[in-house]
């Protein structure tokens, strides 16, 4: 297998891939220690405290590769001092070994003394020749994923044993300086991604506040009843469209509700149908400004149709709503369906039942308040739509950064791109 690899000058073929000639393949147990809370210590959940001085880290406290200290429980001092090997330090790498195995977190500046429950390994480099942060990214890489996949192949493994790690191998740059340079580059990208995620969450909170303010009824708003002010159409039962007719390619989109993404249609994930199915019902041939609502399964999911890149129709699980005689602005109505007004209607409809279907006879009774002026409705919708556009652009940027990081890990952890 190694001999079949095509290598270039300065690189070598190994069992785990092509790496620079001066890099080595190392076993984790040769360069790091692994410790965990041993069974006889018998820590139980009844000892978990809601407050205290000594943090207890469990796998549920891992969040985006870090420890969510605000979610941690605590233990008594006796449990903390019981085992020095698992008293957590800056730079420790934590890996879950029970339940969802292989979750990884890097410890940065613990908020206070902390220890582990029995479901986590702590991994530390044996000496200063190795970068702990570099090892963290190795555990986030394809090397560790492939190792876990081989380990669990053909089994229902729910536990990761220390003896299993004896066989874990990965490439290692020869100097700590190069390891650190790689780890720093990836850490900087993580910081960029985390900052963008926080910005998106902030923008979403601002939008929620704006919706609360703008959609709260004001003096002069009028009550509308959906059945009298709009048409509600869906694919009727006798048309009998089945999943066997869903196609992966074609000229006619089929919208099912699973393609609703952040309130809009993710056309890239749509199925297709034949022309005969598209032309079968003109009422559900989708147009720009249509408002769509799911009526089966997860009911009440909402999407606005901005544009239609190809002719599109619906399966039987989605309503299309269109105002009659310009009775309301569709984009305003769309945002109203995303508000508490519609959620309250759905909760009242399903009170005391396990409703999994939204019937037209019920939906037509939905009543809502809207500005009497269509222009005012448009102004409100435009403000919220601009916010959506900004959030969407940030989310597109976030996706690009995540793809870029994946590429960086592939290049930097294989030595394809060198920083030193």
Q: What is the DSSP pairing of strand 11-14 with strand 17-20?
A: antiparallel
pLDDT, residue 238, reads: 66
210, with CB counted inside 10 A (0-12, 13-18, 19+), is middle
Quick check: helix, strand or coil at residue 378?
helix
Tell me if 314 sits within 8 A of 282, measured CB to CB.
no
What CATH code is carried by the domain that includes residue 142? 3.90.220.20
Instruction: Classify each residue of 238-268 as buried b or exposed e, where b means 16 or more C-beta atoms within 10 Å of its C-beta.
Output: eeebeeeeeeeebebbbbbbbbbeebbbeee
User: Do residues 256 and 352 share a domain?
Assistant: yes
Q: Give the number of domains in the chain.
A: 3
User: Do residues 402 and 334 share a domain?
Assistant: no
Across the chain, what does the average pLDDT equal?
93
- Is the pLDDT at 2 greater than 50, yes or no? no
Alpha carbons within 13 A on the beta-carbon side of 66:
12
How many other C-beta atoms are found inside a 10 Å radius of the C-beta of residue 181? 18
Q: Is residue 269 part of a domain?
A: yes
Q: Is residue 196 part of a domain?
A: yes
Q: What are phi and psi of 369, to 5 degrees?
A: -105, 140
- Please, which pLDDT band fits residue 5 given cuts at 50, 70 and 90? low
Enumerate residues 6+ apart whose C-beta is below 8 A from 193: 398, 401, 402, 405
The mean per-residue pLDDT over the stretch 277-289 comes to 96
pLDDT > 90 in the chain, percent: 85
Parent domain of 99:
24-172
Alpha carbons within 13 A on the beta-carbon side of 270:
23
Tell me if 377 sits within 8 A of 249, measured CB to CB.
no
User: Do residues 231 and 358 share a domain?
Assistant: yes
Q: How does pLDDT run across 359-410, given as a tens digit for each residue?
A: 999 999 999 999 999 999 999 999 999 999 999 999 999 999 999 999 999 9
User: Do residues 243 and 313 share a domain?
Assistant: yes
pLDDT, residue 1, reads: 40
């Amino acid at each position: 297998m190694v001999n079949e690899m095509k290598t270039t000058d300065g690189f070598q073929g190994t069992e785990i891939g092509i790496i620079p000639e001066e890099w080595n393949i190392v076993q984790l147990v040769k360069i790091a220690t692994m410790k965990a809370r041993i069974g006889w210590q018998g820590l139980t959940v009844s000892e978990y405290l809601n407050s205290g001085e000594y943090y207890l880290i469990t796998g549920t406290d891992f969040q985006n590769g870090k420890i969510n200290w605000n979610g941690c429980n605590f233990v008594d001092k006796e449990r903390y001092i019981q085992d020095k090997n698992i008293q957590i330090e800056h730079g420790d790498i934590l890996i879950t070994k029970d339940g969802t195995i292989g979750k990884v977190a890097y410890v940065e500046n613990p908020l206070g003394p902390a220890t582990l429950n029995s479901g986590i390994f702590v991994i530390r480099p044996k000496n200063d020749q190795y970068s702990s942060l570099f090892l963290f990214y190795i555990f986030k890489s394809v090397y560790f994923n492939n190792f876990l996949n081989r380990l669990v192949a053909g089994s229902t493994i729910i536990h990761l044993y220390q003896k299993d790690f004896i066989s874990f191998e990965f490439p290692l740059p020869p100097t700590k300086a190069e390891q650190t340079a790689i780890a720093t580059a990836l850490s900087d990208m993580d910081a960029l991604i985390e900052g963008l995620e926080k910005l998106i969450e902030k923008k979403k909170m601002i939008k929620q506040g704006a919706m609360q303010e703008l959609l709260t009824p004001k003096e002069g708003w009028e009550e509308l009843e959906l059945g009298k002010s709009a048409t509600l159409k869906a694919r009727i039962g006798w048309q009998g469209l089945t999943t066997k007719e869903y196609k992966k390619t074609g000229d006619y989109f089929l919208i099912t509700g699973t393609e609703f993404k952040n309130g809009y249609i993710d056309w890239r994930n749509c199925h297709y149908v034949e022309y005969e199915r598209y032309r079968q019902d003109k009422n559900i041939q989708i147009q720009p400004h249509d408002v769509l609502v799911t009526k089966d399964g997860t009911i009440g999911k909402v999407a606005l149709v901005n544009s239609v890149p190809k002719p599109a129709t619906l399966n039987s699980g989605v309503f299309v709503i269109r105002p009659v005689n310009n009775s309301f602005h569709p984009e305003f109505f769309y945002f109203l369906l995303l508000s508490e007004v519609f959620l309250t209607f759905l909760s009242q409809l399903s009170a005391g039942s396990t409703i999994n279907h939204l019937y037209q006879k019920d939906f037509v009774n939905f009543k809502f308040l809207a500005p009497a002026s269509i222009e005012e409705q448009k102004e409100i919708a435009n403000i919220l739509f601009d916010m959506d556009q900004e959030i969407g652009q940030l989310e597109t940027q976030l996706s690009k950064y995540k793809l870029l990081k994946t590429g960086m890990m592939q290049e930097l952890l294989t030595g394809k791109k060198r920083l030193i």
